[in-house]
Amino acid sequence: MKKYLLFAAALFAAFSCAKNNQSTTPEEPSKKPSITWEAYPTFTAEYMPTMDAVITVSAPEGLDVLTIKSAATNPDYVNVFAKTYIGVSQNRTSSNVVFDVIDDATVASNFVDKKICTSAGTALRGNTGTLNLNFLKLLEILTNSQDIENDTNVSFEINVSDAAGNALNQTVKFHFTAAPAFDWANTVSTTVVPLDNYKDYATVTVTAPALIKSVSLLVSSESAGFNQWLNVRATKEEDGSINVLNEENNTNIKLWSTNPLDQKEAVLNFSELLSNLLIYAKSEESSGITYEFLITVKDGLDKTSSLRMKFKK
């Protein structure tokens, strides 16, 4: 009986040892392609000018194919501008343009030149390391500084294949909220308004879907009297601008009745400033002089827009 007990104990110990050895054996890392976006693991993000939009691609078995396809639902101008960076004709279709990062020499050259990636072209084939793709740079060249309509999505599909035939694709989506915008009496920044007619151009409506976070005003005036009047009434920042959202500044120069901070829409009224500017301009008998009010608004996504109001006596 004792022998049987000793044998059972030895057998149990051997089984436990084998089990422990099996559980501690490290798993081999995957050799299949991978696509990662550390800042946004879900591959969906709200576009911001300062966002981290670097997406990393790897193929441990050796990179063979790397393409980025623009979604057919993207705004027309995104696809139109994309065509100028593509050399292979069949990849320049109207709705699904394709950036072939390896086999299209034009794409490869543009991607490196525009700092979308540090390496591209056939030299990438067989690469077993990682490659960073800066989609913020890609979006900059595709939107081409145009105002994107509010609540717009821009999507891309990344396709990766390795030398072993393993393939992976991933859709990347950017949501655009419109930057702040201005409505100045249905006119534009290039308009020069007669100062005598200021009452028709005294109000500006600001809209910001991502909420107004800051409003600054920079006044350019050659009227010594008006400058002195303004300096007494408004505290200026280091750059000479006036913080419009500052309650004390508003008490003295009366630019708004409801504080624009965190509002989607606000009305700025420049009647107090312009009426005093007109008084000083007349008293100083100045003529032919242009006065400028530069308004800059920043929203909750760090997007900024500016309006330049020009008045001439």
For 243-298, what is each residue's pLDDT tens digit?
999 999 999 999 999 999 999 999 999 999 999 999 988 887 766 788 999 999 99
Question: What band does 313 get if pLDDT is binned at 50, 70 and 90?
Answer: confident
Mean pLDDT, range 196-206, rounded to an integer: 94
Give the residues across from 181 on adjacent strands: 207
Share of the chain above pLDDT 70, in %: 89
For the whole model, what pTM was predicted? 0.74
Give the residues across from 293 on adjacent strands: 219, 309
| Angle ∠(60,64,70) on CA atoms, nearest 5 | 110
* Per-residue CA distances from 238 to 81, 235, 242, 257 (Å): 40, 10, 9, 26
3-state secondary structure of 30: coil
Quote the CA–CA distance of 271 and 56 in Å, as a whole number.
53
Cβ(160)–Cβ(66) under 8 Å? yes
Question: What band does 239 get if pLDDT is binned at 50, 70 and 90?
Answer: very high
Amino acid letter for position 104: D
Share of the chain above pLDDT 90, in %: 72
At 189 the pLDDT is 63
Bigger pLDDT: 188 vs 34? 34
Interval 67-85: pLDDT, tens: 999 998 999 889 889 999 9
Quote the CA–CA distance of 21 and 150 in Å, as a whole number.
58
Mean pLDDT, range 146-169, rounded to an integer: 93
**Dihedral, CA atoms, 247, 251, 253, 256, nearest 10 degrees?**
70
What is the three-state SS of 256-303? CCCCCCCCCEEEEECHHHHHHHHHHHHHCCCCCCEEEEEEEEEECCCC
Question: What band does 6 get if pLDDT is binned at 50, 70 and 90?
Answer: very low
